[in-house]
Structures are given as structure tokens and as C-alpha cells.
Amino acid sequence: MPMRTEDPDMLFDRAAGRRGLLRGAGLAAMGAALGMAMPFGRYLPQGMLPLALAQGGKGPQLLDYPGKDKGLVVLGDKPLVAETPEYLLNDDTTPADKFFIRNNGQIPDAAKDPDGWKITVEGEVDKTLELTLGQLKQRFPAQTHRMVLECGGNGRAFFTPPGRGNQWTNGGIGCAEWTGVKLADVLHAAGLKDSAKFTGSWGTDPHLSGDPAKRAISRGNVLAKSLEPHTMIVWAMNGQPLPNINGGPVRLLVPGWPGSLSTKWLSHVLVRATPHDGQGMGGTSYRVPVTPIVPGSSNDGKSFRDLEAMPIRSIVTAPANGTKLAAGTRSLALRGAAWGSAVGVARVEVSVDFGQTWQQAAMTPPRNPFDWVRWTHAMPLPSDGYFEVWSRATDRNGVTQPIVAANWNPQGYGSNPINRIAVLVG
């Protein structure tokens, strides 16, 4: 039976404690620091440390929040932000307790009367709509879709130098079943004027400063995305009322694009003739360079574009990073997920020899364009020792995850390098 370290994110203590041996050392020193053989060590890319040696040190701060799994990792407390380690994302449908937390302001109190919650639609429309959540449920047909919601900064920690903000690894992601109505139905009910080209939105979350004149965040996008039939106003998650911490009683769900567009505690939708200019728009906020810039350089964002479709990404969800297997194990059962890209996932490949060779995984087709792909593979192992499993996804346009994060930008958006996990056999 496989045995896992007590904390899968704290790799082999012996190796972590010997990282100092590696300064200026070679492959033999790395093997000594790991305390085990590296069967494919000769293929380790120059300048790259084995994962078990690159990590280590002080363990993560784990979340203690009502209704949430205690394995979530806290990235910030003001505002509260927590990510989900890959091994907790092994469910086909992400449970609410394992779903990541991303706040920009204070957390509003839970609604005492959810169906009485009010939403206003205004701006470049024929008539302003003021609807309660109860009226929304009665007036428009409901739909349920399993779709990915991903933070725009997911992967930020992999940039060198680091981008500003919460240092997400791969855990700003979840794929739940969302129930609600098409935002398009509500916008059409208000009557879109010919001048309507963009939308903006905001919720009731107070600004961190407590200043009522300031918004915690207010983002917007092109009208075409707001009218896409999977863009929704949702009130349920996995068949249950939307938890307050995840935006309940009602939020926007703009799948496939940065999660900041999926406004939590939704109170207003503004239809505009010009791009939205709320908090979190313009400059370098949720924007990436049109052409590459020097990593670490300052930039005002004038040559940037809004981040729209999130990049292709894959993760290994089983086994956990840091898993220890019995001596003599010669096959490793892998499972994971892949998502992102405007055109969908074409294939997922895995490697156990530091990317020298790749094997294609079996994939389960997604239910809709914004669902994730679940994948599996039986990976042969040649011997005992230290191994790294790498996973990469390729989209239908042939774009593949890079080995290291590319297109550096000051706030660290769009980072999607291959996923790596470390495994010890014997």
C-alpha cells in the first residue's frame, strides 16, 4: 500500500534539510541530498532543482474556516485568500468545502433573506431592471452546468521574479456544478440598445478600508462574452445554496475567463458603450503584455491587453506531491485534470524522465466547453528511487504548456508551466 507524507506539500524532510549541499554541486550531490537514487537524474534540465529540494522549509499555513476543508492553504488573510492543493482536486466535481477562496475586500454578512436579494441591471438598456433573486428564479429558465472557475493569478508563484499579489501555485481553480440563469436572458429582458458593447458589474463586498465610497472590485468585459450562453447569474453550487464565502446568495459566473469577472455577492450589472473602468480595470490589472517585456521591469500597462481566455493547464491530482511508495513498485496510477484555452484540450501527456519522453494519457470528454477534462494513465517505473511526474496539456490550436512560466508581467497573470509532483519509490 502506498504511504504518503503527513503533509503532501512538505516533501521528504531529509532532502529539504540538505538543500544547502547543492550550491555549486552536481548530480551526485543532489542524489546524496535526496538520500536516494535519481534514475533519470542525467536528464534534469540545467539550472532546475529536483522538486523535493526546491521546496521544503516552513510548512504552509492551513485554513481554519467554517465549511471549508482544513487542507486548503492560506495565501493571505487581508483579504482572505486560500488555494486548494492539487491532491484535493481529485473529485470529478469539486465539492464546495474544497473550493478555493478569493476575496478582494471584506466578506459581507450572509444574507438573512436570500430570495429577497436585489440585483439591478442598468445603463445602455431600454429599461432599468430591479429584480430580487426570487423573481429571477421565477421569471427566467434555470440551467445547470459543471464549469471551471479559475483565479486570473493562478500560477503566479511560478514567475521569476515573482509577480505582485497572492502567490498562487495551481490551486486557484475549482470545477463545480452551477445552477442559475443565463445573463443573456436578463440583459435581453432589459432591452439592449444599439450602443451596448460592454458590461461591468459589482457586488456588496465592502472595501478593505471600510470606506463606503470605494469598491473592493468592479470588473467588466465585452458584451459578446456576457451574452455567451454559459455566462450565468448563479445561486446554487453542486445542488446546494451558494455558500456566502463563495459569493452567495448570488454571483456571476463567467467561465473560462479570469475569476475576477465572476462577481461575488452580485448587486449591479452595468451595460456600457465603452469599456468598463471600475476597480480592477486598466493599467496592469488583469492584463498581460502584447509583446514580451523584461522580467522584473516596471510597466504602466499601455502596451497590455485584457486577459480573456485563461491559458491551457493540467495538474496531477493523484498521487499527491510527496507520495512514498513501497519498494518494488513498478507502475504508478496517475490521475489529473486539464482545462483552459478558448479552443479546448486536445491531449494530455505525462513524463517521468524530466521531459525526455512523453506518454499520452486517456481523457474523459468534457460535458461542455468550460468543463475540465479528467485524465488517467498507468506510468511504468524502471526501478526504485526518486521520480518526478510532469504533466502538460496541449490545446486544439497546438499550444502546449511551457516547462517554465512565460510572458512575465508585473502582476503575474497567465502563468501556466507544466505541473510537477515528486514521488519516492522504496
What is d(CA 299, CA 49) in angstroms, rounded to the nearest whole number?
31
Answer yes or no: is pLDDT of 56 > 80. Answer: no
Answer yes or no: is pLDDT of 106 > 70. Answer: yes
pLDDT of residue 25: 54
Q: What is the pLDDT of residues 313-335, one digit of tens each?
A: 999 999 999 999 999 999 999 99
Q: What is the pLDDT of residues 153-184, one digit of tens each?
A: 999 999 999 999 999 999 999 999 999 999 99
Average pLDDT value for residue range 52-75: 90
Answer yes or no: is pLDDT of 16 > 70. Answer: no
Buried b / exposed e over 119-147, threshold 16 CB at 10 Å, is bebebbbeeebebbbeebbeebeeeebbb
263's grid cell? 462577481
Higher pLDDT, 370 or 28: 370
Average pLDDT value for residue range 32-41: 89
pLDDT of residue 241: 98
pLDDT of residue 28: 78
pLDDT bucket at 263, cuts 50 / 70 / 90: very high
Answer yes or no: is pLDDT of 13 > 50. Answer: no
pLDDT bucket at 353, cuts 50 / 70 / 90: very high
pLDDT of residue 29: 80
Average pLDDT value for residue range 34-57: 87
pLDDT of residue 229: 98
Average pLDDT, the chain: 93
Answer yes or no: is pLDDT of 20 > 80. Answer: no
pLDDT of residue 120: 98
Average pLDDT value for residue range 37-43: 94
Structural domains of the chain ordered from first start: 96-306 (3.90.420.10)
Answer yes or no: is pLDDT of 76 > 50. Answer: yes
126's grid cell? 431600454
Average pLDDT value for residue range 332-341: 97
Q: For the chain, what percent of residues have pLDDT higher than 70? A: 93
pLDDT bucket at 228, cuts 50 / 70 / 90: very high
Among residues 323, 336, 426, 326, which one has the least CA distance to residue 375? 336
Higher pLDDT, 56 or 383: 383
Are residues 312 and 338 in contact, defined by beta-carbon separation less than 8 angstroms? yes
Answer yes or no: is pLDDT of 283 > 50. Answer: yes
Q: What is the pLDDT of residues 63-73, one digit of tens each?
A: 999 999 999 99
pLDDT of residue 46: 87
Answer yes or no: is pLDDT of 81 > 70. Answer: yes
- Tell me if residue 139 falls in helix, strand or coil: helix
